[in-house]
Amino acid sequence: MNSFSRGRRLTAAALTALAVATSATACGSGSKGTGTKAADDGTYTVWDPYPQFAKGSAWVKLLDDCGAKAGVKIKRTGFDTSDLANKTLLAAQQDNSPDLLIVDNPVVSTLAEAGVLTTTDDNKLDTSKVDPNLLAAGQVGGKTYGTPIGANTLALYYNKKVLKEAGVDVASVKDWPSLTAALAKVDKAGKKGITFSAIGTEEGSFQFLPWFWGSGAKLTELDSPAAVSALSLWKGWLDKGYAPNSVLNNTQTTSWQEFATGEYAFAENGTWQLAGVKKAGLDYGVLPIPASGGGNAAAPTGGEFVTVPVQSDTGRYTTTQKLTTCLTSTQNLYETDTTLSYVAPTTEIQDKQVAADPELKPWVEAVRSAKGRTSDDLGTKYPKISEQMWKAVQSALSGSKSPKDALTAAQSAVK
């Protein structure tokens, strides 16, 4: 394999994409650090976006155990997600990439197109058991750059008490008309309907995507009739008072705080809120987001990929492959994904997760229907499309433009 040309200039697309291709899911933040490769070949560097896991945590212990099995020491650094992508690009320019990089899935295509990552063919990583819809987030131009460590996605949490008082049977919610009918009943009963995040950032696009995809729309055609129907659905909910105007500024965290008050029937949010909903003491259930005509909508996948950055010393890849295989083994993935509140990337482990915790069943269903934001070979085009999407959502929900006009403007801007 040819070594990466360190003097090369990283593509403008890569740098632009990293400005917005940061995680829309919930990873904790904590102390930052720096990690440089040790001169000693017996030490291998790992960078990850989990600064919340300190020395002694199950995650760090797993890294150390995998290192021990490969006969090397691990020097691990946890970064905030937004820091990690930029530091990776800088490290590549300086011929100082980590041996192993765990990175948010939308960033994989950006780093791949910049020439920072090796392919799974290069590093002999077996991805045959991984669900194809999850693996697609790390594929560009027919090549695969890593493997998912786990996935999270969006679904609808519902408050059983609120629905019962409004006379709504959640089993009746199968498509958009039945969901809207349920919201109308909740509103008539004097309760609050649904909350979500429509903020003008990647989080807003992340939350709009299940409705966008659930309409049958494609990211390459933001102004299609299907896309307009999705934005019109949200706008209609605001106009009728089924959703609060606060969604315009809601992050996924503030949206969740609204649901945690116990006043809302539904909230669109992710697997990472499972601990929070139990802590809030709500009698809740989870429903995959319905597509317009029924069935489950494709929700965007969150979660990280284990990737192997290009090294000038290609002799390091053999050990790095051992580390990667260890981290993504069936048993280790099961334990790691339990720690991260992730759904595993393989059917075998997903079934094991549901057997251990039946409450994960709707999340597994949602993940099996999910889709990577950079899938369909969008790669570094996605961030620009996403930015225009969230701007259109903001324009329509604020009333400054109709859904059709907002999406027409968005498509023109992308072109």
Task: Quick: pLDDT tens for 101-136.
Answer: 999 999 999 999 999 999 999 988 899 999 999 999
Residue 14 and residue 11: Cα distance in Å, rounded?
A: 5
Q: Is-contact 214 292, C-beta < 8 A?
A: yes
Q: Is-contact 131 153, C-beta < 8 A?
A: no
Residue with tokens 């089924």: 242
Same fold yes or no, 12-152+302-369 and 154-299+378-414: yes
Residue 216 and residue 95: Cα distance in Å, rounded?
A: 44
> What pLDDT is recorded for position 380?
85
Q: For 289, phi and psi rounded to 5 degrees?
A: -65, 125
Residue with tokens 């697997």: 271
Whole-Å CA distances, 375 to 134, 136, 206, 380: 9, 6, 14, 10
Tell me how long the chain is.
415
Q: How far is CA 231 from the centre of its chain?
A: 21
Q: Among positive and negative, which fits the CA dihedral 296, 301, 306, 311?
A: positive
Q: Is-contact 165 262, C-beta < 8 A?
A: no
156: three-class secondary structure by DSSP? strand
Beta bridge partners, 156, equal 268, 287
Domain assignments of the chain as residue spans, ordered by start = 12-152+302-369, 154-299+378-414
Q: For 270, phi and psi rounded to 5 degrees?
A: -115, 175
Residue 143 and residue 164: Cα distance in Å, rounded?
A: 50
Whole-Å CA distances, 90 to 15, 16, 22, 83, 98: 11, 14, 16, 11, 11
> What does the block give as tokens for 238?
């605001």
Q: Is-contact 338 320, C-beta < 8 A?
A: no
Residue 354 and residue 181: Cα distance in Å, rounded?
A: 31
Least confident of 15-24, 105-114, 253-262: 15-24
Tell me whether residue 52 is exposed, middle or buried, using C-beta atoms within 10 angstroms of its C-beta: 0 to 12, 13 to 18, 19 or more.
middle
pTM as predicted:
0.82
Pairing of strands 73-78, 43-48: parallel
Tell me whether residue 98 is exposed, middle or buried, using C-beta atoms within 10 angstroms of its C-beta: 0 to 12, 13 to 18, 19 or more.
buried
How does residue 338 score in pLDDT terms, banded at 50, 70 and 90? confident
- Domain at 12-152+302-369: CATH code: 3.40.190.10
Q: What is the mean pLDDT of residues 239-251?
A: 97
Residue 332 and residue 207: Cα distance in Å, rounded?
A: 30
pLDDT tens digits, one per residue of 70-83? 999 999 999 887 78
Q: Is-contact 222 411, C-beta < 8 A?
A: yes
Residue 200 and residue 75: Cα distance in Å, rounded?
A: 37
Q: How far is CA 244 from the centre of its chain?
A: 25
pLDDT tens digits, one per residue of 351-405? 999 999 998 999 999 999 999 999 888 888 998 999 999 999 999 999 999 999 9
Give rounded-to-5 percent helix, strand, coil for the chain: 50, 15, 35
How does residue 272 score in pLDDT terms, banded at 50, 70 and 90? confident
329: three-class secondary structure by DSSP? coil
How does residue 279 score in pLDDT terms, banded at 50, 70 and 90? confident
Q: Which CATH architecture has domain 154-299+378-414?
A: 3-Layer(aba) Sandwich (3.40)
> What percent of the chain stands above pLDDT 70?
90
